Structure 1
Amino acid sequence: MFDEILKSVQDHFANNPELAAAIPADQQEAVHNEIATHMANGLAGQQTESGGLGGLMGQLENALTSGSPVVSAIEGGLLGSLASKFGLGSAATGAIAASLPGLLQKFIPKSGS
Structure 2
Amino acid sequence: MIKEFKEFAMRGNVIDLAIGVILGAAFGKIVTSLVNDIIMPLIGLLLGGIDFSNLSFKVLKYGMFIQTIVDFLIVAFSIFLFIKLFNKLYTRKKKVEEASPSLTKEEELLTEIRDLLKANQRETM
TM-score (normalised: structure 1): 0.30
Pick the structure with greater CA Rg: 2
Larger RCO (alpha carbons 8 Å, 6+ apart): 1
